[in-house]
């Protein structure tokens, strides 16, 4: 009985740990402010309801990604199929997708941004999609984008 209880607690604990920690902003303005305050680039994740979930399941839902992202980036998720978003937000998200050259979903883009006189200026650092090499390969490729001189 004790062994079954311990196994149950282990599974519940690991599920609880995996579900916590990642905080995706859906408000770009707030994310830019946090990015500038913490001096971290944005990781803008472009997705849609019909997009494959491999990148989320195999990369984003891992402890390695959680640790890496907490130290290195501000997470922004832009769901291009979000029916609850206003038309202006949907138009903004599609414009950003096109400006960053996102040609398939899902895909992530690294960028910095500054807001001056009500206008947002983005500096694209690079983009990355699903990497079949796993989370460590994805993080290594991301680090090359974020730190090209190293």
In the chain, the domains with their CATH numbers are 23-146 (3.40.30.10)
Under-50 pLDDT residues of the chain: 4-19
Which residue is associated with the tokens 């196994």? Answer: 7
Q: What is the reported pLDDT for 20?
A: 54
pLDDT at 91: 93
pTM: 0.83
pLDDT for position 19: 45
Over residues 50-92, the pLDDT tens digits come to 999 999 999 999 999 999 999 999 999 999 999 999 999 999 9
Alpha-carbon distance of 15 to 97, in angstroms, equals: 33
What are 26's two structure tokens? 């859906």
pLDDT (0 to 100) of residue 17: 43
């Amino acid at each position: 009985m004790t062994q079954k209880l311990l196994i149950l607690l282990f599974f519940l604990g690991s599920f609880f740990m995996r579900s916590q920690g990642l905080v995706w902003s859906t408000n770009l303005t707030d994310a830019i402010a946090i990015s500038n305050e913490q001096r971290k680039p944005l990781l803008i994740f472009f997705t849609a309801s019909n997009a494959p979930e491999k990148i989320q399941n195999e990369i984003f839902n891992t402890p390695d990604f959680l640790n890496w992202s907490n130290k290195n980036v501000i997470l922004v998720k832009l769901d291009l199929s979000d029916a609850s978003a206003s038309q202006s937000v949907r138009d903004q998200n599609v414009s950003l997708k096109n400006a960053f050259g996102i040609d398939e979903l899902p895909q992530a883009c690294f960028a910095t941004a500054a807001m001056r006189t009500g206008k947002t200026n983005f500096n694209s650092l690079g983009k990355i999609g699903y990497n079949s090499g796993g989370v460590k390969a994805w993080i290594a490729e991301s680090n090359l984008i974020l730190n090209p001189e190293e």
